[in-house]
């Protein structure tokens, strides 16, 4: 399968797409039509003409600057069978000659419409969804790994990847648009997937990306400072997450009490929930100690974290193959989600005992890219002050020497967290190197200046370097450390591009780190991930 010309990962469809009568769609969802709809059939739905396949309906939505219906003629030229849009869009799309179904709010009905088109309103695999500021990607990949260990044919949708019965595809969005998500689930059903682990963002809940679905188990990891470019304040951000714990979204829930908002989620949830906590890292250890399930940290090594999970069904001791108590917390959450989904405790515990721990690949999540000689280098996707704090603390505990923090910040995203990103980096490290990440359309010099302000205000005497671009920054970082030291490169994680003025420029922090180590004379292992370009 090849990528579309936009250089984005492909949108997946079922191999045997349905045929739905446009007249039935109009009767079910519409409040009017333009042109002849009788006798027209559709085989799918999409929001984007770049992804449109012949025979599909193009759903045209009003955007910030333009209405999607302006592209109706493009859709027609690519073989669209019809347009679904609002009254404004219908006037715009009518000259294309395509039949138009007029609806009140195309985005609001997209989930239910997609479920009807693809038949995902029935007979779905088990759906396991995780939301929270940090950790939801890790929980999703841990679920997928655990399911595989248990012999379950699984699917996955995360920030990093999509998995379908063993096939791996790079992701576009944390949670796909509803049309793409329902098509993906239809394909998973065709391939006999039994359970699907899904990362559910706040934006997915408020922007209707998971509409038309009821998850069997929903989980909450934490809520910390992020996304205040999308939400007015933390209270609005919290309310976005709370939508997941209502009967129209999920049947059962598992809530971590490691962050204070978790206590509120458990109290306000409108579905049955069980709680879990890791008291050693919880914001409120007393409240965490009263959780239904407790994660206790037994040992931390550069190769993983050993922990004991204890609760109503029993106790087990196992290892998660990444560093940090927060990762043990994520693993415990995944295990309890499987239990709540109906998998027997004995089956879960038996698979872990047989395999000697959890076998899961977490792309770009405190991922060690260095070898046994020289400094340890970890590449991570964390991009919030809370993620910095937890991951730096985890790296510190397994590092005998100095800890260097290398990071940048997203452009055109929440600017209010940048000062605290700089502050937290200084507080948890011996050396800080500030560089660029995704500048998008923002001035990268201005982004770095905000990070530097937080870093220097925290400790003016701290060793702080500003190096741009990141290709030079990692070389500088490697030159500042030696054997027994560690570098944490936070932000890029698994990503294989940088967004520079709307262009996805090929780029891999993992490969750049390996190159810098090798050029400095340190042996590096073969990569455990696809190499995006030769170095």
pLDDT, average across residues 85-90 = 97
pLDDT at 439: 93
What are the beta bridge partners of residue 199? Answer: 130
CA distance 313 to 60: 49
Please determine, for residue 3, whether its predicted confidence score (pLDDT) is greater than 50: no
CA distance 328 to 319: 8
State what percent of residues in the chain have pLDDT above 70: 95
pLDDT tens digits, 227-252: 566 777 888 988 989 999 999 999 99
Q: H or E stretch including 174?
A: none
CA distance 310 to 290: 12
State what percent of residues in the chain have pLDDT above 90: 80
pLDDT at 203: 87
Mean pLDDT (the chain, rounded): 92
pLDDT tens digits, 453-472: 999 999 999 999 999 999 99
Specify the length of the chain in residues: 535
Radius of gyration of the chain (CA): 24
Q: Among 206-210, 312-316, 473-477, which is the least confidently predicted range?
A: 206-210
pLDDT at 344: 98
CA distance 112 to 182: 9
Please determine, for residue 4, whether its predicted confidence score (pLDDT) is greater than 50: no
Domains and CATH numbers, the chain: 20-118 (3.40.1390.10), 126-355 (3.40.1190.10), 367-519 (3.90.190.20)
pLDDT at 534: 37
pLDDT, average across residues 307-335 = 97
Please determine, for residue 531, whether its predicted confidence score (pLDDT) is greater than 70: no
pLDDT, average across residues 352-365 = 92
* Helix-strand-coil split of the chain, %, nearest 5: 35, 20, 40
pLDDT, average across residues 330-352 = 98
Residue 173: band (very low, low, confident or very high) from pLDDT cuts 50, 70, 90:
low
- Specify burial of residue 280 (Cβ count, 10 A radius: 0-12, 13-18, 19+): middle
- Cβ contact 185:118 at 8 Å: yes
Residue 427: band (very low, low, confident or very high) from pLDDT cuts 50, 70, 90:
very high
Q: Which residues contact 419 (CB under 8 A, 6 or more apart)?
A: 450, 451, 453, 454, 457
Please determine, for residue 174, whether its predicted confidence score (pLDDT) is greater than 90: no
Tokens of residue 232, six digits: 């007015």
Predicted model pTM: 0.84
DSSP string, 80-127: --EEEE-HHHHHHHGGG---EEE-S-HHHHHHHHHHHHHTTTSSPPEE
pLDDT at 54: 96
The count of other CB atoms within 10 Å of the CB of residue 481 is 22
């Amino acid at each position: 399968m090849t990528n579309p010309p936009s250089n984005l990962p492909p949108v997946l469809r079922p191999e045997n797409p349905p045929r739905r009568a446009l007249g039935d769609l109009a009767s079910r969802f519409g409040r009017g039509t333009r042109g002849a709809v009788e006798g027209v059939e559709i085989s799918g739905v999409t929001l984007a003409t770049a992804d449109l396949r012949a025979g599909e309906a193009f759903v045209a939505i009003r955007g910030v600057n333009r209405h999607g219906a302006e592209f109706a003629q493009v859709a027609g030229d690519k073989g669209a069978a019809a347009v679904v849009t609002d009254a404004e869009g219908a006037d715009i799309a009518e000259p294309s000659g395509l039949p138009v179904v007029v609806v009140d709010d195309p985005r609001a009905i997209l989930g239910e419409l997609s479920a009807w088109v693809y038949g995902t309103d029935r007979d779905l695999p088990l759906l396991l969804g995780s939301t929270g500021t940090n950790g939801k990607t890790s929980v999703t990949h841990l679920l997928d790994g655990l399911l595989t260990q248990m012999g379950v044919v699984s699917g996955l949708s995360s920030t990093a990847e999509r998995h379908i019965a063993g096939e791996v595809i790079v992701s576009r969005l944390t949670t796909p648009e509803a049309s793409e998500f329902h098509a993906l689930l239809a394909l998973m059903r065709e391939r006999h997937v039994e359970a699907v682990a899904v990362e559910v963002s706040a934006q997915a809940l408020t922007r209707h990306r998971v509409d038309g679905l009821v998850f069997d188990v929903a989980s909450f990891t934490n809520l910390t400072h992020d996304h205040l470019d999308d939400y007015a304040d933390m209270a609005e951000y919290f309310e976005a997450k709370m939508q997941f714990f209502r009967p129209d979204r999920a049947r059962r829930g598992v809530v971590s009490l490691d962050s204070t908002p978790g206590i509120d989620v458990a109290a306000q949830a409108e579905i049955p929930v069980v709680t879990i906590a890791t008291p050693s890292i919880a914001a409120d250890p007393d409240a965490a100690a009263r959780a239904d399930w407790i994660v206790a940290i037994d040992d931390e090594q550069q190769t993983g974290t050993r922990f004991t999970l204890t609760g109503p069904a029993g106790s087990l001791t196992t290892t998660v193959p990444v560093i940090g108590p927060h990762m043990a917390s994520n693993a415990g959450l995944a295990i309890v989600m499987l239990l709540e989904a109906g998998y027997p405790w004995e089956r879960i515990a038996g698979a872990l005992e047989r395999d000697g721990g959890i076998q899961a690949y977490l792309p770009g999540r405190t991922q060690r890219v260095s070898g046994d000689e020289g400094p340890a280098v970890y590449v991570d996707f964390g991009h919030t002050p809370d993620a910095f704090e937890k991951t730096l603390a985890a790296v510190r505990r397994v590092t005998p020497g100095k800890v260097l923090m290398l990071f940048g910040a997203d452009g055109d995203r929440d600017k209010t967290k940048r000062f605290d990103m700089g502050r937290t980096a200084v507080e948890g490290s011996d050396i800080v190197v500030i560089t660029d990440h995704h500048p998008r359309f923002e001035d990268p010099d201005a982004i770095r200046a905000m990070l530097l302000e937080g870093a220097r205000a925290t400790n003016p005497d701290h060793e702080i370097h500003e190096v741009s671009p990141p290709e030079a920054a990692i070389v500088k970082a490697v030159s500042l450390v030696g054997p027994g030291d560690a570098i944490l490169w936070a932000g890029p994680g698994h990503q294989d591009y940088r967004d520079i003025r709307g262009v996805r420029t090929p780029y891999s922090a993992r490969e750049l780190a390996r190159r810098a180590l090798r050029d400095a004379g340190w042996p590096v292992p073969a990569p455990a991930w696809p190499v995006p370009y030769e170095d």
